[in-house]
């Protein structure tokens, strides 16, 4: 299992597209020299970045760069992408006609379904694990009933109730109005809601660089930041004593504490000239994990129940903190407004579809244990198109679009994707419970929740907000 997972990880980690080698059919280069994007994260983020220039009410035309990224993504999912353009700066690639110009290699073969072979390899390893788990005999059961503790069918219908809601049409109409053009499939990543402040990022970076020159300084400021959220000084100091800040090699992460003598580690990347705003925003997200880890371990009275119901719930804590990054800098209380609701709703709509495709693929694998990589590819294309046609085509167009199958998680993190929408659903319900709370009341509500321990998700929600996991609260905000 470890070997196949590591192989999938390596495959994804090197899946770069050299954007400066892409050409339109009339030979133009759209992306700057040296731009190399990792699929799917960087491709998606670059696509999102091009919503910046499109302002409200000004009719715009289709963006050439976004269209080209969309084309590249489809080539990857369909495995029509020429093998030689993956992580290779030499050849010139015309994604529309799929033509390749290369000085060195003459072969113009498509990637030989490697993407799907990696998934099959993991499935085959998982089948060997199955033999040792008589009471949870499939990876699907272990993932949903075992780890997440919500059956797959329940999650499936929860997601469908949001993506089939009438609210989708309302938000889509609003986006269409703002863009001033017909919607395109990649508008599932529309990034124009002003959920984040309108503040200038450079000015914020100047401030965060000055405030956080190195990890040690960040560590010393944690207690103070917690008090701005409402934690009492003594409590804030006690929590922060268990958090250690260290430099990270990647973008950053939180490393949980497992035993009572261990710190929770916040790993963050700080450049020599100090922490820029993007880095700060990520560090605050990670700090949300750390604070949850400390409270749910050190303040939970029964060790065997320490922790939280599932991964989604620690993401929720991280989102709660991240949404208050400016408040932590002393800019006053940050609350949700209509733009936040629209932004969150549209994000859920996107990631729920992506998750359903992942979940259905795994069901298909167990139904077809002898499948080849080519058969799996065809099945995924069919599943992605089916979900698209039912819930996305009506507002975004393009029948049989396979965009929902682009996430790399599908290849290297089996059935992980549903954790994201679950995290967002919980976050929204908690945010709603926090809406009228400020200062100490806010901190006390937060702390009470994360002391509940590793209950089942539904029982945790019942004790936290007196209701079940539900998409109704967000649906009610979109009218």
Read off φ and ψ for residue 265, nearest 5 degrees. Answer: -105, 130
Q: How many other C-beta atoms are found inside a 10 Å radius of the C-beta of residue 111?
A: 19
Tally of CA atoms within 13 A in the half-sphere of 54 that contains its CB? 24
C-beta of residue 183 within 8 angstroms of C-beta of residue 380: no
Q: How far is the CB of 181 from Zn ion (least distance, A)?
A: 34
Q: How far is the CB of 148 from Zn ion (least distance, A)?
A: 16
Long-range contacts of 383-389 (CB under 8 A, 24+ apart): 383/357, 384/77, 384/357, 387/353, 387/356, 387/357, 387/360, 388/185, 388/353
Q: Which residue is nearest to Zn ion (CB)?
A: 318
Of 288, 282, 300, nearest to 229 by C-alpha is: 288
Long-range contacts of 55-61 (CB under 8 A, 24+ apart): 56/178, 57/177, 57/178, 57/180, 58/180, 59/180, 59/181, 60/179, 60/180, 60/181, 61/181
With respect to Zn ion, which residue has the nearer C-beta, 318 or 402?
318
Q: Which residues of 323-349 are buried (b: 16+ CB within 10 A; e: fewer)?
A: bbbbbbbeeeeeebeeebbbbbbbbbb
Q: How far is the CB of 284 from Zn ion (least distance, A)?
A: 11
Distance CA 131, CA 92 (A): 48
Residue 118 neighbours by CB under 8 Å, 6+ apart: 4, 7, 8, 11, 411, 412
Q: How far is the CB of 377 from Zn ion (least distance, A)?
A: 31
Read off φ and ψ for residue 264, nearest 5 degrees. Answer: -95, 135
Residue where the block lists tokens 């998680």: 409
* Strand partners for 38: 16
Q: What is the DSSP letter of 147?
A: I
**Helix (DSSP H) and strand (DSSP E) numbers for the chain:** 21, 7
> Contact positions toward Zn ion, by CB under 5 A?
318
Distance CA 13, CA 118 (A): 13
C-beta of residue 19 within 8 angstroms of C-beta of residue 37: yes
Beta pairing class for 99-101 and 243-247: unpaired
Q: How far is the CB of 250 from Zn ion (least distance, A)?
A: 13
C-beta of residue 215 within 8 angstroms of C-beta of residue 287: no
* Strand partners for 82: 110
Read off φ and ψ for residue 99, nearest 5 degrees. Answer: -80, 145
Q: To 10 degrees, what angle do helices 419-434 and 338-367 make?
A: 150
Q: How far is the CB of 299 from Zn ion (least distance, A)?
A: 21
Q: How far is the CB of 125 from Zn ion (least distance, A)?
A: 26
With respect to Zn ion, which residue has the nearer C-beta, 119 or 318?
318
SS3 category, 285? helix
Q: How far is the CB of 199 from Zn ion (least distance, A)?
A: 23
């Amino acid at each position: 299992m470890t070997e196949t997972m590591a192989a999938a990880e390596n495959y994804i980690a090197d899946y770069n597209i050299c954007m400066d080698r892409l050409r339109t059919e009339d030979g133009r280069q759209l992306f700057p020299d040296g731009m190399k994007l990792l699929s799917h994260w960087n491709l998606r983020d670059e696509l999102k970045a091009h919503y910046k220039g499109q302002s409200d009410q000004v009719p715009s035309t289709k963006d050439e760069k976004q269209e080209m990224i969309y084309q590249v993504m489809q080539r990857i999912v369909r495995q029509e992408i020429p093998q030689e353009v993956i992580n290779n700066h030499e050849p010139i690639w015309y994604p529309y006609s799929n033509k390749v110009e290369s000085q060195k290699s003459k072969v113009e073969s498509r990637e030989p379904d490697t993407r799907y072979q990696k998934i099959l390899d993991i499935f085959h390893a998982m089948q060997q694990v199955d033999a040792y788990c008589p009471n949870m005999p499939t990876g699907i059961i272990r993932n949903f009933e075992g780890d997440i503790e919500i059956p797959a069918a329940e999650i499936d219908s929860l997601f469908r109730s949001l993506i089939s809601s009438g609210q989708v049409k309302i938000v889509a109409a609003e986006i269409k109005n703002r863009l001033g053009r017909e919607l395109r499939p990649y508008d599932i990543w529309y990034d124009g809601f002003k959920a984040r402040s309108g503040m200038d990022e450079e000015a914020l970076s100047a401030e965060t660089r000055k405030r956080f020159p190195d990890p040690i300084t960040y560590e010393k400021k944690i207690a103070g930041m917690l008090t701005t959220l409402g934690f009492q000084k003594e409590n804030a100091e006690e929590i922060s004593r268990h958090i250690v800040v260290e430099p990270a090699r990647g973008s950053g992460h939180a490393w949980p504490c497992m035993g009572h003598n261990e710190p929770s580690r916040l790993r963050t990347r700080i450049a020599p000239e100090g922490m820029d705003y993007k880095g700060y925003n990520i560090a605050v997200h990670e700090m949300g994990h750390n604070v949850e880890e400390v409270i749910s371990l050190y303040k939970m009275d029964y060790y065997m129940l320490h922790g939280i119901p599932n991964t989604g719930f620690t993401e929720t804590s991280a989102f709660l903190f991240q949404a208050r990054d400016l408040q932590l800098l002393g800019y006053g209380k940050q609350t949700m407004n209509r733009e936040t609701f629209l932004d969150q709703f549209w994000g859920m709509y996107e990631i729920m579809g992506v998750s359903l495709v992942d979940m259905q693929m795994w069901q298909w694998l167990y139904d077809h244990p002898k499948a080849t990589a080519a058969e799996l590819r065809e099945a995924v294309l069919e599943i992605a198109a089916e979900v698209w046609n039912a819930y996305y085509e009506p507002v975004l167009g393009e029948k049989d679009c396979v965009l929902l199958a682009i996430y790399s998680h599908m290849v290297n993190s089996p059935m992980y994707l549903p954790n994201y929408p679950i995290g967002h659903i919980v976050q929204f319900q908690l945010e709603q419970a926090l809406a009228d709370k400020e200062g100490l009341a806010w901190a006390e509500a937060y702390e009470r929740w994360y002391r509940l321990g590793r209950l089942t998700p539904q029982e945790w929600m019942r004790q936290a907000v007196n209701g079940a996991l539900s998409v109704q609260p967000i649906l009610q905000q979109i009218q």
